[in-house]
Amino acid sequence: MKTIYQYEYLQLGLKIAYYRKLRGLTQEQLAERIGRTPAFIGHIEAPNIVKAVSLDTLFDIAAELDVPVHKFFLFDD
């Protein structure tokens, strides 16, 4: 992961957390549904950790949360 995209990865994680909570899922539930660990989801969503996410994983998360994947990229300025 390039450090110049650090802000974007942090925003992506915050969007995932937002939609996960909106759907009433815990990190554990989402992790189980996409075949990842709760720690992995926690790292993605943490505002103080920069964690890269593959497109496959992002598509899996979007499908489980029933969110069009493009909504994860609508960042707040």
- What was the pLDDT predicted at 2? 80
- What was the pLDDT predicted at 11? 93
Q: Which residues contact 7 (CB under 8 A, 6 or more apart)?
A: 75
- What was the pLDDT predicted at 55? 96
Q: Which residues contact 63 (CB under 8 A, 6 or more apart)?
A: none
- What was the pLDDT predicted at 1? 72
Q: What is the spatial distance between Cα 37 and Cα 51, in angstroms, rounded to a whole number?
A: 14
Tally of structural domains, the chain: 1
- Per the structure, the complete domain to which residue 23 belongs is given by 3-73
Q: What is the CATH number of the domain that holds 8?
A: 1.10.260.40
**pLDDT tens per residue, range 16-60:** 999 999 999 999 999 999 999 999 999 999 988 888 899 999 999
pLDDT band at 77 (very low <50, low <70, confident <90, very high): low
